[in-house]
């Protein structure tokens, strides 16, 4: 995501040069001006602020996914070792049940974190696109594109920008999904199998 950081920095610099005086007066998007004069500077600043928030959210979701993966590996190993110390546990209870259940739960949690991360990445790319269009005047704000549709978070012109960015970034994001979540799931599967081998081997007296 270093490209987004670079582009965001350039846009932020342009914003400072363009509307420094305006920011001293307003600071944030004033809801009283929305739908009236459609102040481009206010929307521009608001979009950059949202891009920063979404970038922070993106990093948080990625951190949560990798931390869960990292904690699961030694945790399931410890569970396997503990199970191996219980005499007769392997013979009286299906060994794989707790390991599979735990692996599925952790995998679901990791998948949710990565899914939210990818959605945030699409949103950041879309917000950067919209900020650039506002800066160059490619977007003309009017009653039809500043309204927020039902069940939508953003005004129409931002939703359109996010959708366009998602399409243009589809191939890259697909590879990113395979690379990130694939590595995490592979680590979870291998750790689970190894923990089962540790528990079953010692429980059977091997």
Q: Is residue 115 part of a domain?
A: yes
User: What is the model's pLDDT at position 74?
Assistant: 93
| pLDDT higher than 60, residue 188 | yes
**pLDDT tens-digit series, residues 93-151:** 666 788 889 999 999 999 999 999 988 888 888 888 888 888 887 777 777 677 777 77
The Cβ of residue 171 has, within 10 Å, a number of other Cβ atoms equal to 9
Return the residue matching tokens 């199998």.
Answer: 193
User: What is the model's pLDDT at position 30?
Assistant: 44
Q: Is the model more confident about 138 or about 64? A: 64
Q: Is the model more confident about 32 or about 104? A: 104
Please count the structural domains in the chain.
1
As to burial, measured by CB atoms within 10 angstroms (0-12 exposed, 13-18 middle, 19+ buried), residue 60 is middle
| pLDDT higher than 70, residue 18 | no
As a whole number of angstroms, the distance between CA 105 and CA 99 comes to 10
Nearest to 167 by CA among 126, 200, 113, 114: 126
Return the residue matching tokens 């600071």.
Answer: 27
Q: Is residue 26 part of a domain?
A: no
Q: Is residue 30 part of a domain?
A: no
Q: Is residue 98 part of a domain?
A: yes
| pLDDT higher than 60, residue 16 | no
> For the whole model, what pTM was predicted?
0.69
Q: Is residue 28 part of a domain?
A: no
Please give the average per-residue pLDDT across 50-66, as a whole number.
92
As a whole number of angstroms, the distance between CA 126 and CA 188 comes to 33
Q: What range defines the domain where residue 126 resides?
A: 2-18+39-203
Return the residue matching tokens 């689970």.
Answer: 192
| pLDDT higher than 50, residue 51 | yes
Q: Is residue 31 part of a domain?
A: no
Q: Is residue 195 part of a domain?
A: yes
Q: Give the dihedral of Cα atoms 135, 137, 138, 143; nearest 10 deg.
A: 110
Q: Is residue 170 part of a domain?
A: yes
- Cα torsion angle, 88, 93, 94, 96, sign: negative
């Amino acid at each position: 995501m270093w490209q987004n950081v670079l582009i965001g920095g350039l846009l932020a610099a342009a914003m400072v040069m363009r509307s420094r005086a305006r920011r001293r007066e307003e600071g944030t998007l004033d809801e009283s001006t929305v739908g009236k004069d459609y102040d481009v500077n206010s929307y521009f600043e608001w979009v950059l602020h949202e891009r920063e928030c979404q970038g922070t959210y993106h990093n948080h979701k990625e951190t949560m996914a990798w931390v869960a993966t990292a904690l699961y590996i030694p945790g399931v190993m410890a569970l396997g070792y503990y199970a191996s110390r219980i005499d007769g546990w392997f013979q009286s209870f299906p060994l794989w049940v707790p390991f599979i259940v735990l692996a599925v739960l952790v995998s679901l949690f990791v998948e949710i974190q990565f899914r939210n991360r990818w959605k945030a990445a699409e949103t950041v790319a879309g917000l950067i696109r919209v900020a650039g269009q506002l800066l160059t005047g490619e977007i003309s704000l009017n009653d039809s594109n500043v309204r927020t549709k039902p069940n939508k978070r953003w005004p129409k012109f931002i939703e359109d920008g996010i959708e366009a960015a998602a399409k243009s970034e589809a191939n890259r994001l697909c590879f990113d999904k395979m690379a990130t979540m694939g590595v995490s799931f592979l680590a979870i599967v291998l750790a689970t199998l190894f923990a089962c081998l540790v528990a079953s081997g010692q429980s059977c007296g091997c």
